[in-house]
């Protein structure tokens, strides 16, 4: 029986309330029903377009009618309506989902029909496009815009040409049909809209599937990390060769950035920059180009990124998370992403639809309408793996061959290069970003979810300090700043953490790093000493950091106490106990102080020596009086000896997953207590007040469940204070633990800090800058600062990154969660230090003490670089970049070097930089080496204008 009517039932009253929140199978059945309804055999026979009708009130069936009933409509139909329709002579297609099944039930198999399969698929694409356009027009508050008569004439003519085998005529009429749909869309959105194909590539699936992507007719965006690209090139060179050709022709836009997708917000800044340098080198080596659009699969967003990406030559970025993580979720097809330093970069922040998911295409009209309403340029991205089984993705690609009804396929680079408004200005803060790495590590049962980050941060600090010694030696001797040795060690260090897969290489890296920490400072000391004319043994203390530091050095080989003069501020010399020979010394930034081994001291008394205490629970020095808590074994209070207010308290504890209720007795009265925290109980203490450079106290005890007194852990805590320094050092050792389970943010052992002022502001570190916090949970590997109007307390975490604010005056730093194997931890608390990152680097960065045979030729104290702003840190010494004339219009040649500087406090200012030689030329360059501007010289000083949080590379040139 010939078909005279094509009907699709829908589970709604009209297209206005068409369902878009169905599951995969119901969505697929609904979409495929509309697509197969446009089969050319059906339309050729019916000589009219398919129509839809509400399923809860279906029309009377007629002979010759073909009715598609998607599975989702089963609950809407009247009882036995399908059977009555068949009895009336209609063909009812129901209970099927896949296109081939639907087509076979409606018109027969492709073998029976002998139609051009490619043109049949084009008709399916026309049906999908028609449905999505109808839904889109309603989302855009427009109705009845399609010229139904013209569309019907074109569709019927195309269908008859396909049945007749006339491909050329069929394509012409299909093009006309798609153009009718495009005209309808242009009535409510008359400018271009765009589709972006985002293909995610990993080596395990790329080898067999990526070639299909590379040979597609429309452009594609390929997102691949540097190490994945390198592995793919090694294992499948032919595939990478095709990718290189496609990228060079513009058919493929490569997105990427770093060598590996590590947890960027939890890394030191130098680790992040190394990742980008290494990644760019890999892309250049394998593809002959560097990506111009940044993106990654794993969460790694940060407001520091715009300036890094801009300086590396990127034109845009994906400000979306394809992984778990919290970030500003305002969606725009094109925005101006303003970094913390006010750098601007174009970005795409609309969450991509999953190209392999049927519900994505039901949501497509709403997503496109949202972009049309709110963006200057409407665009929707579809993310996928190289292989896509969803036929609707192919429908949208086929649509492109005829007319861009729902959007034109372009690359992200083309999107950012499009003329017109750059989009809304969006300035985000670091506190709006938060990773899910801790949860992911625990969920995957990976070892050391906390200490892996602490270990990497501290190793990186050690490497940077040792590298400064190596770089200074090279500058003084006229050698290259960067060598294969330094590059190899840096790569080994970065590749061994904090990734789980590299844990087995940690021991080897530790050996190499320890050897460098011994050899590089020793060589610098020998260069500074030179050829000694007379023997005068001593110790050369080298400060690799760019700010002045007061340190307490243990010098057991001192023969006699040095004089307290100049940089030497205090001496504690025990004639019989060599372990009790200490010197407190002020070191200049990027400088050194020489201390003689044997000197007839004119004055070895320490100025302002503290008074001894008789209280067994108190230790004090000139700056601090610390009282231990007799009940918990923690710190009861810390205050200035001449002031009454408590600066902070501290205790070890365990957080239960849920609140517990128990009864305590106070002064004979019972009270009900509700708390999620365990009880710490001190079992003993050992106080060493003494008169030396270091005062210490040790407490030990247990952490137990207050409801049943079950042992949760044992602890041993050592507290130290140092002469002439407002610093409290805390060492913690846990044992006999009951390992936490489940959510690491809600079940953990922790070090708890408390303070008095609930209005105090909290600042933490993020990529070596000081930033605020929002909410309870935050991450900071360097410090947490608690600041009031008159006081600043800086808690240096020694790499521990995860913290939870549990009240207006309390902070937990997580120590042990599920899977964590570390049992020893350190904290240092600094009072009233105006620059918290400086304090953190001071207390975690090394001071190198090198035995020498003579003092330096230049004098007993000196510096090699001087930065006059304490909120500007010298990060690294770099080689000079002689850029070609086509990149740098005014290249300057000659010996020199570059320095990387970082503003850490969010306060821009002018900075004077001095070095051990007088430069003849200075310029500020970007991270690729191109000149940004020339800098003014004032004698031996360079004047640098630093923006808030700016990363600046300053290149200096000297006379031959």
CATH of the domain at 338: 3.20.110.10
- Report d(CA 132, CA 138) in Å as an integer: 10
- Report d(CA 895, CA 893) in Å as an integer: 7
- Domain range for 517: 449-529
- Report d(CA 702, CA 682) in Å as an integer: 7
- Report d(CA 518, CA 489) in Å as an integer: 14
In a domain, residue 440? The reply is no
Torsion of CA 323, 324, 329, 331, to 10 degrees: 20
462 with 348, same domain?
no
423 with 471, same domain?
no
674 with 759, same domain?
yes
Cα-based distances in Å from 148 to 44, 887, 951: 16, 57, 60
237 burial class (0-12, 13-18, 19+ CB within 10 angstroms)? exposed
In a domain, residue 908? The reply is yes
604 burial class (0-12, 13-18, 19+ CB within 10 angstroms)? middle
Domain's final residue, options 134, 154, 188: 188
In a domain, residue 456? The reply is yes
Sign of CA dihedral 562, 566, 568, 571: positive
Number of neighbours of residue 228 by Cβ within 10 angstroms: 21
The pLDDT of residue 160 is 97
In a domain, residue 274? The reply is yes
- Report d(CA 207, CA 614) in Å as an integer: 75
Write the DSSP string, 883-902: --TTT-SS---SSEEEEEEE
Q: Which helix (H) or strand (E) holds 802?
A: strand 802-807
Q: What share of the chain is helix, strand, coil (3-state, %, to 5)?
A: 30, 30, 40
- Report d(CA 928, CA 311) in Å as an integer: 7
- Report d(CA 341, CA 118) in Å as an integer: 53
The pLDDT of residue 885 is 62
The pLDDT of residue 886 is 58
- Report d(CA 848, CA 514) in Å as an integer: 12
597 with 631, same domain?
no
- In sequence order, the 6+-apart residues with CB closer than 8 A to the CB of 604 are 561, 562, 563, 564, 571, 573
Number of domains in the chain: 6
819: its two tokens: 């899977």
The pLDDT of residue 96 is 94
Q: How far apart are the first and last CA of the chain?
A: 96
Sign of CA dihedral 925, 931, 934, 940: positive
575 with 474, same domain?
no
In a domain, residue 612? The reply is no
- Report d(CA 22, CA 27) in Å as an integer: 6
In a domain, residue 441? The reply is no
CATH of the domain at 795: 2.70.98.30
60 with 20, same domain?
yes
Domain's final residue, options 504, 529, 554: 529
The pLDDT of residue 607 is 44
166 burial class (0-12, 13-18, 19+ CB within 10 angstroms)? middle
Please give the distance of CA 830 from its chain centroid, rounded to a whole number.
Answer: 28
Domain's final residue, options 133, 159, 188: 188
795 with 739, same domain?
yes
Q: How many CA atoms lie within 13 A of 273 on its CB side?
A: 25
Query: pLDDT means per 10 residues in the chain (960 residues)?
Result: 90 92 94 97 95 93 94 90 92 94 89 88 98 96 88 97 96 98 96 95 76 81 95 90 92 94 96 97 96 96 98 97 92 96 96 96 97 94 92 96 96 88 90 96 95 96 98 95 95 85 75 97 95 82 97 92 92 85 95 89 48 75 94 96 91 96 80 91 86 88 94 98 95 97 97 96 97 96 96 97 96 98 98 97 97 91 96 96 64 86 97 94 94 93 97 93
In a domain, residue 481? The reply is yes
The pLDDT of residue 751 is 99
653: its two tokens: 């504890």
155 with 33, same domain?
yes
Q: How many CA atoms lie within 13 A of 722 on its CB side?
A: 23
Report the 3 state secondary structure along 278-294: HHHHHHHHHHCCCCCEE
The pLDDT of residue 336 is 96
- Report d(CA 591, CA 711) in Å as an integer: 50
199 with 181, same domain?
no
306 with 365, same domain?
yes
In a domain, residue 442? The reply is no
Verify cis geometry, omega within 30 degrees of 0, for the bond prior to 475.
no
498 with 568, same domain?
no
242 with 135, same domain?
no
Tell which phi-psi region holds residue 894, choosing left (phi > 0), alpha (psi between -120 and 50) or beta.
left
Q: How many CA atoms lie within 13 A of 909 on its CB side?
A: 16
Tell which phi-psi region holds residue 95, choosing left (phi > 0), alpha (psi between -120 and 50) or beta.
left
The pLDDT of residue 608 is 44
690: its two tokens: 């003494």
């Amino acid at each position: 029986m010939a078909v005279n009517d094509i009907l699709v039932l829908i589970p709604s009253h009209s297209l206005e309330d068409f369902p878009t929140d169905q599951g995969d199978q119901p969505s697929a059945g609904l979409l495929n029903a509309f697509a197969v309804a446009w089969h050319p055999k059906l339309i050729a026979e019916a000589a009219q377009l398919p129509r839809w009708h509400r399923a809860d009130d279906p029309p009377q069936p007629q002979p010759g009618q073909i009715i598609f009933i998607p599975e989702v409509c089963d609950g809407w139909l009247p009882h036995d309506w399908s059977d009555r329709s068949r009895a009336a002579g209609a063909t009812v297609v129901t209970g099927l989902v896949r296109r081939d099944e639907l087509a076979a039930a409606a018109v027969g198999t492709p073998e029976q029909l002998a139609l051009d399969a490619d043109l049949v698929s084009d008709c399916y694409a026309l049906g999908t496009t028609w449905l999505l356009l109808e839904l889109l027009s309603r989302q855009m508050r427009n109705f009845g815009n399609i010229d139904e008569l013209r569309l019907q004439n074109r569709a019927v003519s195309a269908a008859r040409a396909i049945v007749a085998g006339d491909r050329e005529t069929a394509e012409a009429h299909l093009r006309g049909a798609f153009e009718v749909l495009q005209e309808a869309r242009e009535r409510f959105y008359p400018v271009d809209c765009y589709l972006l194909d985002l293909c995610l590539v990993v080596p395990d699936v790329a080898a067999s599937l990526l070639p299909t992507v590379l040979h597609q007719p429309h452009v594609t965006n390929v997102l691949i990390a540097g190490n994945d690209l390198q592995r793919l090139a090694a294992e499948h060179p032919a595939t990478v060769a095709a990718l290189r050709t496609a990228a060079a022709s513009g058919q493929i836009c490569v997105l990427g950035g770093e060598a590996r997708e590590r947890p960027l917000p939890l890394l030191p800044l130098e680790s992040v920059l190394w990742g980008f340098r290494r990644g760019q080198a890999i892309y250049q080596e394998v593809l002959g180009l560097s990506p111009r659009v940044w993106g990654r699969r794993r969460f790694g967003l940060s407001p520091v990124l715009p300036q890094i990406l801009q300086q590396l030559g990127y034109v845009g970025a994906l400000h979306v998370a394809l992984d778990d993580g919290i970030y500003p979720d305002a969606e725009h097809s094109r925005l101006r992403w303003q970094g913390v330093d006010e750098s601007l970069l174009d970005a795409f922040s609309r969450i991509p639809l999953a190209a392999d998911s049927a519900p994505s295409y039901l949501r497509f009209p709403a997503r496109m309408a949202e972009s049309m309403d709110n963006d200057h340029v409407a665009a929707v991205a579809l993310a996928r793996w190289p292989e896509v089984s969803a036929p609707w993705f192919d429908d949208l690609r086929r649509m492109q061959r005829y007319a861009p009804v729902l959007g034109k396929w372009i690359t992200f680079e083309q999107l950012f290069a499009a003329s017109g408004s750059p989009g809304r200005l969006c300035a985000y803060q670091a506190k709006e970003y938060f990773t899910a790495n801790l949860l992911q590590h625990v969920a995957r049962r990976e070892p050391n979810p906390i200490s892996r980050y602490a270990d990497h941060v501290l190793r990186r600090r050690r490497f940077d300090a040792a590298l400064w010694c190596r770089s200074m030696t090279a500058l003084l001797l006229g050698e290259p700043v960067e060598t294969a040795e330094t590059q190899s060690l840096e790569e080994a260090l970065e590749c061994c953490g904090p990734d789980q897969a590299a844990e087995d290489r940690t021991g080897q890296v530790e050996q190499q790093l320890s050897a460098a920490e011994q050899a590089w400072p020793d060589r610098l000391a020998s260069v500074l000493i030179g050829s000694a004319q007379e023997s005068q043994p001593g110790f050369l203390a080298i400060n690799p950091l760019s700010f002045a530091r007061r340190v307490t050095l243990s010098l057991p080989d001192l023969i006699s106490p040095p004089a307290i003069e100049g940089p030497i501020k205090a001496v504690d010399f025990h004639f019989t106990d060599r372990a009790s020979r200490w010197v407190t010394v002020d070191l200049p930034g990027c400088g050194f102080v020489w201390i003689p081994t044997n000197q007839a001291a004119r004055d070895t008394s320490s100025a302002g020596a503290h008074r001894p205490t008789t209280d067994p629970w108190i230790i004090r020095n000139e700056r601090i009086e610390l009282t231990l808590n007799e009940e918990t074994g923690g710190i009861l209070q810390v205050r200035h000896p001449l002031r009454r207010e408590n600066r902070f308290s501290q205790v070890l504890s365990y957080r239960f997953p849920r609140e517990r209720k128990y009864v305590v007795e106070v002064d004979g009265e019972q009270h009900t207590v509700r708390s999620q925290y365990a009880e710490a109980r001190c079992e003993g203490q050992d106080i060493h007040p003494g008169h030396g450079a270091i005062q210490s106290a040790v407490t030990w005890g247990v952490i137990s469940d207050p409801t049943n007194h079950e042992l949760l852990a044992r602890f041993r805590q050592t507290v130290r204070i140092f002469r002439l320094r407002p610093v409290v050092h805390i060492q913690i050792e846990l044992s006999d633990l009951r390992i936490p389970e489940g959510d690491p943010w809600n079940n953990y052992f922790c070090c708890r800090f408390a303070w008095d002022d609930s209005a105090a502001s909290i600042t933490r570190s993020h990529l070596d800058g000081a930033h605020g916090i929002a909410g309870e949970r935050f991450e900071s590997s360097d410090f947490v600062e608690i600041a009031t109007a008159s006081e600043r307390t800086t808690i240096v975490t020694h790499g521990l990154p995860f913290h939870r604010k549990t009240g207006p005056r309390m902070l937990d730093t997580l120590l042990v969660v599920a899977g964590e194997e570390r049992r020893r931890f350190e904290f240092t608390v600094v009072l009233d230090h105006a620059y918290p990152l400086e304090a953190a680097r001071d207390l975690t960065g090394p001071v190198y003490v090198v035995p020498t045979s003579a003092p330096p030729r230049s004098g007993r104290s000196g510096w090699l670089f001087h930065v006059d702003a304490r909120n500007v840190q010298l990060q690294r010494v770099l080689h000079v970049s002689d850029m070609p004339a086509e990149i740098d219009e005014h290249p300057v040649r000659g010996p020199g070097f570059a320095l990387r500087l970082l503003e850490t406090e969010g306060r821009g200012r002018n900075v004077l930089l001095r070095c051990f030689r007088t430069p003849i030329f200075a310029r500020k360059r970007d991270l690729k080496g191109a000149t940004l501007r020339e800098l003014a010289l004032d004698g031996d000083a360079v004047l640098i204008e630093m923006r808030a949080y700016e990363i600046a590379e300053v290149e200096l040139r000297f006379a031959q």
